Structure 1
Amino acid sequence: MTQQGVRWTADQVLALAPDAPSRKAGSKLGVAGPWSEAGSSGEGTVWGLCKGSGSKPYQTVVDIADPAGPAYKCSCPSRKFPCKHALGLLLVWAGADGTVPENGEPPAWAGEWLAARRTRAETRRSPATEPAAPADPGAARRRAEKRAERITAGATELEQRLSDLLRSGTATAEQAGYGLWEETAARMVDAQAPGLAARVRELGAIPASGPGWPVRLLEECALLHLLDQGWLHRDRLPDELAATVRSRMGLPAQPEGPPVRDRWLVLAQYDTADSRLTTRRIWLYGTESRRPALLLAYGAAGRAPALALPVGLALDAEVTAYPGAGQLRVDLGEQFTAPVPTTHRPPGVRTDEAAARYGEALRGDPWVESWPVTLADVVPTRAEGARAWQLADVDGGSALPLTPSAVSSPGLWRMVAVSGGAPLTVFGECGHEGFTPLAAWPQDSGETVPLC
């Protein structure tokens, strides 16, 4: 933040928004008009009063220097974090037009909140006065064995249901409707196999997904059968592949191995949601280890996860990897500095190399849907004779089609506008449906442009 005297960009601020309505509302408040008594300190705090509909202005304060990510406090009734007032305050601060002066002292209401946060942080870092009672390894082993038996019974039952489907023909899936798969998914939940339950629910939506659905249904059934067989014969698998199967079945795992300290670039952040959970994916890239890493954070349905790292920043931190063949998920450990702006970008590859990397990833994890790749010197163009879009190598050697979700998102037009026909460096996810761009860098600028 202020350690290098560089403020965030508007894109980095808006990347924190929990949803599109918050982003729009925050943008409207990102001007000087509604704000008074705004200020910032050299320790990474921004505060201000925002005029609302009531007689009293909203008190808003943001702790940007917290290594765990920005923290927010606002007297408004919103349950979103950050709220539109916090986003607006950060946008005004990012504008560096003098509305938010530097090196000030926070008012009492902001200082009290900051002091309380510092106290809680110190308490968390202090060793516990009473050591926790050791867990009973025997009881834990018996619980794990009992759950494994339930999952095995569920996987065996699912194999029979898949066999019945193929024996009677895929047309029966369309006639049976979604209820068949919802009931099967409930059986997998009872078997304590949430990974199987999630994949079964996806099967229920395929018959209504348009032309070609029988092929897609068979493909997904084959992957589900492969996962079932992997679980039923997990004792014959290599350790890493067995760990991947356990993860895909939905069994909890803990990060393993020594932590890796690096300067991690925040490449992309986006949320996906269902009726039960909001999942946030944050892609990182280690400048020294030259490896991508994935942070996952979760929130209740309709609530944004607490962890947020603005795109385009870099942080000096340790991460610890989760087990599994080709797994990129990591756990964020100690952070040694607050995230700061950077112009560094990961090295890119050609489009054919990107497809090859996804193919290599499938060898270690046959269920992986995409793989993080940075493309160098590509231009967004329309595919010849079609309405589809693609990213083509600047020399015309090869191209990657964009996924349907990418073509229908506003990020496509932002990428096209940033390119203006010139080559870009683009980070995204390469999978069986094509490439989903998540961030871009123009040739003449090191500033990260979020696309999601």
Structure 2
Amino acid sequence: MDEQGVRWTSDQVLALAPDGASRTAGSKLGTAGPWSGAGLDGQGAVWGLCKGSGRTPYRTVVDLTGPAYTCSCPSRKFPCKHALGLLLLWSGDTGGARVPAAAEVPDWAEKWLAGRRERTESARAATATTTVDPEAARRRAERRAARITAGAQELEQRLADLLRGGLASAEQAGYGLWEETAARMVDAQAPGLAGRVRELGSIPGSGPGWPVRLLEECALTHLLDRAWLSADRLPGPLAATVRSRVGLTAPSDGAALRDRWLVLAQYDGSDGKLTTRRIWLHGETSGRTHLLLSFGAAGRAPQQAFPVGVVLDAELRPYVGGGGLRAELVEQFAVPASTGVRPRGGTVGAALDAYGLALRDDPWLDAWPVTLAEVVPARAEYGWQLADGRGAEREAVPLTRSAQSQPGLWRLVALSGGGPVTVFGECGHQGFTPLAAWSPDAPGETVPLV
């Protein structure tokens, strides 16, 4: 224990890397050799000078409370390899801590840290004092609703044409027509519908049974269209869910909840235009699981990032709709610290029941966060599955096709060694996607699987 609390492990640091190349380059800079003037204070700041190819060393600062980073190098990656190397140096995971506590912060580091604190306070003040013209907001909402309605009606015609012509025509037409339809949904300011259209376009020719999968997804898209067109007759909570599913941002007006939040998983997805980062958090006291979403331009990682396995002393506020899963980070009260906590978990049957209940409130729910306790990864006739390791009534859930092709599966199999493990992941109609796991031999160590 030191001024920064329990330091992160090298795996937690490298999990912040935006890509494999940054991970490799950052690892090479995690030794004392290229660094000088490194130091840390008691408020979550780490800084250092990293020798590069030029005369002037790169000035690197990390605010661990974010975490947030700055570096004088020209890299557009976030965090850059120098920030990763500095964090590895600070972690001391491979030979003791090498970043000493400092009595004073260098001027060049203090300038950035002070600016960051000022921007944070300004943002809070602006949020507290912002006033919105309700009449102007109402007119904007009406115009956008009209565009979404036109887009939903057009999509209904597209689905009717597809079913009238037969599903076989979807494979012959190719992806171009789907992408054109998705672009029309973007023009209609309905990104949720656009995402579902792109998903439809990826199904034809995707493997055995694709016509069945296409018909299922067409039915769900049709249901969402009809729900939007009849939203004024739906109950309030369901109407809020429909609005969020078509792409309207719901307000985060739930009751704020402060807890110690374990970072269960973090991974990125991209549609070619936008990178979306999903961060799953689990409350140590509340037992609630919430999702943080952040976004970045195509090819660039979002700025919000936390090492998997650390705990945040923070306050979250849930959004309306979508089962109350999504939340925003309101305030963070301490530097993220390593911990030995983990979710309790339950049986496969309990997880499937939870997903089924969630579908009652949100029929378009692709996945529901669950933790499976004492399950064993096993190879079955149709692929890999997770089966209850104990108990008289042993049930199993198949892994999704995408999960069976990822390196995380073999990490999970190696961690299990044929024995029961605890696994957190997303349970959906396509199966289970494992995101993190814990071994009985090291129950406090979160092993990321993505």
Q: TM-score range by the shorter chain?
A: over 0.9
Residue aligning to 1:53: 53
Q: Which amino acid aligns with 1:25?
A: A
- Distance, in Å, in 1 between the alignment partners of 2:203 and 2:142 is 34
State how many pairs are aligned: 445
RMSD: 2.2
- Distance, in Å, in 1 between the alignment partners of 2:445 and 2:311 is 12
Q: How far is 1:239 from its partner?
A: 0.9
Match of 1:89 among 86, 89, 113: 86
Q: How far is 1:98 from its partner?
A: 4.1
Residue aligning to 2:310: 313
Alignment of 1:19-418 (within 5 A): 19-64=19-64, 66=65, 69-95=66-92, 97-103=96-102, 105-125=104-124, 134-383=131-380, 385=381, 388-395=383-390, 397-418=394-415
- Distance, in Å, in 1 between the alignment partners of 2:75 and 2:315 is 33
- Distance, in Å, in 2 between the alignment partners of 1:139 and 1:421 is 61
- Distance, in Å, in 2 between the alignment partners of 1:5 and 1:54 is 35
The one-character-per-residue Cα deviations of 1:133-184 (angstroms, maximum 9, x if unpaired) are x433223222222322222222222222211211111122222222222232
Q: Which amino acid aligns with 1:27?
A: S
Cα pair distance change 1:34/1:258, threshold 3 Å: same
Q: How far is 1:223 from its partner?
A: 0.7
- Distance, in Å, in 2 between the alignment partners of 1:274 and 1:325 is 21
Q: How far is 1:128 from its partner?
A: 9.3
Q: How far is 1:359 from its partner?
A: 1.4
Q: Which amino acid aligns with 1:392?
A: A
Cα pair distance change 1:2/1:313, threshold 3 Å: farther
Does the CA contact (< 8 Å) of 1:428 and 1:436 recur in 2? yes
5+ unaligned residues in a row in structure 1: which ranges? none
Q: How far is 1:77 from its partner?
A: 0.8
Residue aligning to 2:10: 10
Residue aligning to 2:445: 447
Does the CA contact (< 8 Å) of 1:313 and 1:339 recur in 2? yes
Does the CA contact (< 8 Å) of 1:15 and 1:311 recur in 2? yes
Does the CA contact (< 8 Å) of 1:39 and 1:104 recur in 2? no
- Distance, in Å, in 2 between the alignment partners of 1:117 and 1:148 is 37
- Distance, in Å, in 1 between the alignment partners of 2:74 and 2:193 is 39
- Distance, in Å, in 1 between the alignment partners of 2:4 and 2:87 is 17
- Distance, in Å, in 2 between the alignment partners of 1:163 and 1:303 is 38
Q: Which amino acid aligns with 1:118?
A: R
Q: Secondary structure at the match of 1:208?
A: coil
- Distance, in Å, in 2 between the alignment partners of 1:61 and 1:400 is 45
Q: TM-score if structure 1 supplies the norm length? A: 0.92
Q: Secondary structure at the match of 1:295?
A: strand
- Distance, in Å, in 2 between the alignment partners of 1:198 and 1:122 is 36
- The share of aligned pairs that are identical, in percent, is 69
- Distance, in Å, in 2 between the alignment partners of 1:188 and 1:281 is 23
Q: How far is 1:301 from its partner?
A: 0.8
The one-character-per-residue Cα deviations of 1:114-142 (angstroms, maximum 9, x if unpaired) are 2333343444455799x65x433223222
The one-character-per-residue Cα deviations of 1:233-254 (angstroms, maximum 9, x if unpaired) are 2122211111111111111221
- Distance, in Å, in 1 between the alignment partners of 2:349 and 2:24 is 38
Cα pair distance change 1:153/1:27, threshold 3 Å: same
Cα pair distance change 1:152/1:111, threshold 3 Å: closer
Q: Secondary structure at the match of 2:445?
A: coil
Q: How far is 1:378 from its partner?
A: 1.6
5+ unaligned residues in a row in structure 2: which ranges? none
Q: How far is 1:333 from its partner?
A: 0.5
- Distance, in Å, in 2 between the alignment partners of 1:71 and 1:123 is 17
Q: Which moved more, 1:273-282 or 1:388-397?
A: 388-397
Does the CA contact (< 8 Å) of 2:4 and 2:335 recur in 1? no
Does the CA contact (< 8 Å) of 1:2 and 1:43 recur in 2? no
- Distance, in Å, in 2 between the alignment partners of 1:164 and 1:253 is 32
Cα pair distance change 1:128/1:136, threshold 3 Å: closer
Q: Which amino acid aligns with 1:365?
A: D
The one-character-per-residue Cα deviations of 1:73-98 (angstroms, maximum 9, x if unpaired) are 21211111111111111112212524
Runs of 4+ in 1 over 6 A off after TM superposition: none
Q: Which amino acid aligns with 1:284?
A: L
Does the CA contact (< 8 Å) of 1:322 and 1:328 recur in 2? yes
Q: How far is 1:103 from its partner?
A: 4.3
Q: Which moved more, 1:239-248 or 1:49-58?
A: 49-58
Q: Which amino acid aligns with 1:11?
A: D
Q: Secondary structure at the match of 2:324?
A: coil
- Distance, in Å, in 1 between the alignment partners of 2:120 and 2:395 is 51
- Distance, in Å, in 2 between the alignment partners of 1:185 and 1:19 is 28
Q: How far is 1:273 from its partner?
A: 1.2
The one-character-per-residue Cα deviations of 1:320-340 (angstroms, maximum 9, x if unpaired) are 111115230011112222222
- Distance, in Å, in 1 between the alignment partners of 2:35 and 2:363 is 53
